[in-house]
Amino acid sequence: MSGVLLYKSELCGLIHFLVADQTVIAPVPLTHGQFKFAAVTTLEEIALDAIPTLLPPKKYFLPPQESLLQYDTTQGEKMQAEVAIEETVLFGLHTCDLAGIQCLDMVFADRPKDLHYMIRKQHFTLIGLECNDYCDSSANCAMLFNHLPKGGYDLFLTDLGDYYFVDINTHKGDLLVEKSGLFVPVTPAAQDNLQKLRQIKTKRFKSEIPIRYQDIKPLFEASFESNVWTDIGAKCLACGNCTNACPTCYCFDIVDEPEFDLTRGKRLRIWDSCQHENFARIAGGENFRKERGDRQRHRYNRKFHYPMERYKQIFCTGCGRCSRTCMARIDLKETFNALIEECR
Amino acid sequence: MEKIAVRNSGYQISRGRISRVTLLTETERLFTIVLQNNETLDHDPGQFVEVSRFGVGEVPISICSSPTRRDAFELCIRAAGRVTAALHRLKPGDEVGIRGPFGVGFPMTPLAASDVLLIAGGLGIAPLRSLVHYIIDNRRDFGKVDILLGCRDPQSMLFSAELEFWRQRIDINFLCSVDSAAAEWEGNIGLITALIPGVNLDPFKTIAITCGPSVMYRFVIAELLKKGIPPAHIYLSLERHMKCGLGKCGHCQIENLYCCQDGPVFSYPQIKNIRGALE
C-alpha cells in the first residue's frame, strides 16, 4: 500500500464525504480537559488535539451491553443469535487506540472465534491520527513502542503542517481515497517531512519507565509475591474503573434480560471487571481472588505477563487511561517503578 | 442499527428436553436430558456443558454420564445459587438450553491399558461418574480399577444405589469414607486421604484422577506422590466459574490458563507451578 496527502483545507470535505453514508465517530471535548468518542457530523465538533478519551474505542466493538441472542420461550427454549451492525467510521484513533483494537482482534479471532465481534468489526473503517507529542504524563506508550503506527488502520493521518501525510493500509482505505477524490499524490518534500517528524519523535518519546520490553514479563514473574500488590490492594476501591477504561480489557458477564411478559427477552453480554469482588467466586462460595491486591495483581499480569504467553503480545497500549481514571490514584508508572525497585 | 443473524454463534443453545429427574439428596438432583432431534451430545468424560433457562441464566455443569450411553446424557446439579435453584424446579418434559460440550476431559488414551485410581470428594463424584461408566462399558480396555470416595456424611452421599453396584463388582475395588456418621454406619470414618495408603497399586502402571473441592487436592496429591505415582500420572479437575466456555470472559482464568478451554482436567505438572490453581 502507499501514501497520499490530504491538505488541511480538505479535512472538512473528508468528514462531509464520510458522514454522507455512514456514522462517523471521533473524539469530542468534555469538561475538565477530558474527551470522549461520540458521533459527529462536522469537523468543528471534532477535537483533533484530544488526549486519550475517557472510554477507549472498544465500546464500539465490544459494547458495554450487547444482545447475543433473542429468545422466545412460548414454545420451548427458542432463540436466534444476532449481532447489531452499523457502517461506522472511527476517526482520530491514536496509535495506542489502534494497538488496543489489534489486541481485541487477536483475542476474539482466537479459536473458538467470537463471531459476534468479528462480524461487527467488518463494518468499521478505522482512520488513525498520529500524536506528534505526548498527550500527558500518564502515558507510557513509548515504552511499548506504541507511539508509532504499527498497522491496524485503514488510513493513518500524520499532521505535517499544512497537510496530513496519509498512509493507506488496506483495500478499504484505498477505495475511500479513490472515491472521495480529496487526496493528492505524495511529494518528495512530504516524504522528507514525515521522516523528520519521526526523527523528532524518536527524541521526544523515550521509554517512560526504566525497563526494556523483554524484561517486562520476567519482572512480573519475579514479583508475584511482592508487597507492592498488598500496598496497591490497600488503596484499591475495587470499582472497576481501570478495566472499563482499558482498551484491551474484555472480561464480560452473560445475563438474561426478559421483557415484561417474561416469555421473550435477550441474552446479553455486558462488561464485567476482574476487580469486582465476586468475579472469581464459584458456587460453593470459594473465591479464588478474594483480596483486592490479588485482583490488582491479576489485572497487571493480564496486561504484561499472561498475554505474552498466550498471544506473544503485551496487552498494555500505554494510553495511560487506568492511571488517569483511578479514584485511588493507583498509577501504572508508579507501580512499575515500585516493582523494579523491589526486584533490583 | 441493523440486526443480522449469526450462524454458528458460540452462544447459541441446543434445546434439551428433560426426560427424567431423580432426587439424589436434599440438595442434588440428577437430570436426564435428551437433545432435540435425538442428537448425541458427543462428549468426552470430564467435559462440561453450559445449561440455561432463558430469563434465568446459564451455569456450567459437568457431564456425569458416559458417552458410551448415547441416547441421553445426565447432569447432577446441586442447588447452590439462583440459576441452579431454578433448574431444580424443572420437571420431566421441560426444556433447557445446552451449549457445549466444552473443555478438555480426562486423558482417555493414556488411561486405556493403565491401572486406574479414581479419588472423588463430595460432588466430585459427578464428573468422575462419567469416567466410571465409561470404564464399566469398556472394562477390558482398562487394568485394575480402584475408586475412593469421600463425603461429609452418609446422607450426603450421591448415587448411593449405584455405589452399591460398584462395590459388589469384582472387577472394581470401591472404598468409601465419611467425615462423620451415626453409630450404625458400617463403613470407614475419616478423611479420604486415609484410604490412599491402603490401596494396593503399581505406581508406574497407575494413572490417578482426582476430583473434589480444592482444599482436598493438596493432601490427596501428597499421598499419591508418597505412593510413588509419578506426577505426570496424576490428573485433577478444577472447579471455576466458566461463564462463556469459550476462553474469553475471564471468570475461570487461572494465571494464563482458561479453565474452560485448557481444562477443567489438568495434569499435575501442568498446574503445579501455576499459582492460584491449587489453593
Interface membership of B37 toward A (CB under 8 Å): no
**Read out DSSP for A257-301?**
EE-TTSSEEEEEEEE--TTSTTTTB-TTS-BTT-SHHHHHHHHHH
CATH 2.40.30.10 in chain B, residue ranges: 14-102
Asked if the Cβ–Cβ distance from B54 to A256 is below 8 Å, we say: yes
Interface membership of B93 toward A (CB under 8 Å): no
Residue of A nearest to B97 (CA): A77
Give the closest-approach CA distance of B200 to chain A in angstroms: 34
B13 band by pLDDT with thresholds 50, 70 and 90: very high
Residues A273 and A152 in one domain: no
B180 band by pLDDT with thresholds 50, 70 and 90: confident
pLDDT for residue B181: 83
Asked if the Cβ–Cβ distance from A256 to B57 is below 8 Å, we say: yes
Q: What is the spatial distance between Cα B37 and Cα A342, in angstroms, rounded to a whole number?
A: 62
Residues A299 and A229 in one domain: yes
> Which cell goes with A221?
514473574
Residues A164-207 pLDDT 10s: 999 999 999 999 999 999 999 999 999 999 999 999 999 999 99
pLDDT for residue B45: 96
Residue of B nearest to A255 (CA): B57
Residue of A nearest to B103 (CA): A112
pLDDT for residue B187: 81
Residues A130 and A244 in one domain: no
Task: Count the domains in chain A.
Answer: 2
Mean pLDDT, residues A315-334 taken together? 95
Interface membership of B80 toward A (CB under 8 Å): yes
> Which cell goes with A298?
491479576
pLDDT for residue A343: 83
pLDDT for residue B188: 87
Q: Which of A282, A287, A306 to mutate to test the interface with B (most CBs of B within 10 A)?
A: A282
Q: What is the mean pLDDT of chain A?
A: 94
Give the closest-approach CA distance of B3 to chain A in angstroms: 4
3-class secondary structure per residue, B33-76: EEEHHHCCCCCCCCCEEEEEECCCEEEEEEECCCCCCCCCEEEE
Q: Which of B7, B8, B9 to mutate to test the interface with A (most CBs of A within 10 A)?
A: B9
pLDDT for residue A283: 87
pLDDT for residue B156: 87
* Candidate from A77, A252, A289 with C-beta closest to B249: A252
Residues A38 and A163 in one domain: yes
**Read out DSSP for A297-321?**
HHHHHHHHTHHHHHTSS-------H
Return the number of CB contacts < 8 Å for A and B: 150
Q: Which of B33, B94, B251 to mutate to test the interface with A (most CBs of A within 10 A)?
A: B251
Residue of B nearest to A270 (CA): B249
**Listed residues A138, A172, A204: the one ending a domain:** A204
Residues B254-264 pLDDT 10s: 999 999 999 89
Which chain B residues are within 8 Å of A258, Cβ to Cβ?
Answer: 54-55
Residues B199-252 pLDDT 10s: 999 999 999 999 999 889 999 999 999 999 999 999 999 999 999 999 999 999
Closest CA to A307 of A81, A107, A36, A109: A107
Residues A48 and A183 in one domain: yes
* Candidate from B1, B96, B254 with C-beta closest to A84: B1
Residue B28 pLDDT exceeds 80: yes
CATH architecture of the domain B108-237 equals: 3-Layer(aba) Sandwich (3.40)
- Give the domain range for residue A193: 3-204
**Listed residues A184, A204, A224: the one ending a domain:** A204
* Candidate from B9, B56, B239 with C-beta closest to A81: B9
Asked if the Cβ–Cβ distance from B54 to A267 is below 8 Å, we say: yes
**Read out DSSP for A122-163?**
TTEEEEEE--SS-S-TT--TGGGTTTS--S--SEEEEE-SSE
Residue B64 pLDDT exceeds 60: yes
Residue type, A166: V
Residues A305 and A192 in one domain: no
Asked if the Cβ–Cβ distance from A250 to B15 is below 8 Å, we say: no
Residue A1 pLDDT exceeds 60: no
Residue of B nearest to A85 (CA): B2
Write the class of the CATH domain B14-102: mainly beta
Residues A10 and A153 in one domain: yes
Mean pLDDT, residues A20-24 taken together? 95
Residues B32-49 pLDDT 10s: 999 998 899 999 999 999
Angle between helices A332-343 and A227-235 (to 10 degrees): 150
Residues A173 and A230 in one domain: no
**Listed residues A145, A179, A204: the one ending a domain:** A204
Residue of B nearest to A278 (CA): B251
B182 band by pLDDT with thresholds 50, 70 and 90: confident
Residues A106-125 pLDDT 10s: 999 999 999 999 999 999 99
* Candidate from B10, B80, B275 with C-beta closest to A114: B10
Mean pLDDT, residues B145-152 taken together? 93
Q: What is the mean pLDDT of chain B?
A: 93
* Candidate from B10, B84, B251 with C-beta closest to A280: B251
B183 band by pLDDT with thresholds 50, 70 and 90: confident
Residues A278-302 pLDDT 10s: 999 998 888 999 999 999 999 999 9
CATH 3.40.50.80 in chain B, residue ranges: 108-237
Closest CA to A244 of A32, A26, A58, A36: A58
For B87, residues 6+ apart whose C-beta sits below 8 A from its C-beta are B31, B51, B53, B59, B77, B79, B96
Residues A173 and A273 in one domain: no
Asked if the Cβ–Cβ distance from B78 to A283 is below 8 Å, we say: yes
Asked if the Cβ–Cβ distance from A81 to B255 is below 8 Å, we say: no
Q: B65 near B129, Cβ under 8 Å?
A: yes
* Candidate from B11, B55, B249 with C-beta closest to A73: B55
Half-sphere exposure of B69 (CA within 13 A, CB side): 20
Residues A155 and A29 in one domain: yes
ipTM: 0.91
Residues A100 and A241 in one domain: no
Which H or E run includes A19? helix A11-19
Peptide bond into A63 cis (omega under 30): no
